[in-house]
Amino acid sequence: MSKVKVRIPATTANMGPGFDTLGMALKLYNEIEVQETNGGTEIYNNGVREEEDFKDNLIYKTIMKTIGKQGYSCKGLKINVTKCDIPMSRGLGSSSACIVGGIKAANSITGVKMTQEDIISLATEIEGHPDNVVPAALGGMVISLKVGDKITYSKVKLPSQLRFAAMIPEFEVSTALSRKVLPESYSKEDCIFNMSRAAMLVNALNNNEFNKLSLCFDDKIHQPYRKKLIKNLDAIFKESNKLKSLGEFISGSGSTLMAVISNENADEFTYCMKKFLDGLEDKWNIILLEPDLEGVKILK
Q: Which residue numbers belong to the known binding site?
A: 87-97
- Determine the residue type at 12: T
In angstroms, the Cα distances linking 228 to 262, 263, 286 are 28, 30, 21
Helix (H) or strand (E) holding 6: strand 3-13
Annotated binding site for ATP: 87-97
Q: How far apart are alpha carbons 209 and 99 in whole angstroms?
A: 35
Q: How far apart are alpha carbons 261 and 241 in whole angstroms?
A: 10
Residues in the chain: 300
Q: How far apart are alpha carbons 255 and 284 in whole angstroms?
A: 11
- Check if the beta carbon of residue 12 is closer than 8 Å to that of residue 23: yes
Among 142, 144, 112, which residue's Cα sits nearest to residue 128? 144
End-to-end CA distance of the chain: 16
Q: How far apart are alpha carbons 238 and 245 in whole angstroms?
A: 10
Q: How far apart are alpha carbons 234 and 228 in whole angstroms?
A: 10
- Determine the residue type at 275: K
Q: How far apart are alpha carbons 138 and 4 in whole angstroms?
A: 19
Largest Cα separation within the chain, whole Å, is: 60
Q: How far apart are alpha carbons 12 and 14 in whole angstroms?
A: 7
Q: How far apart are alpha carbons 35 and 108 in whole angstroms?
A: 10
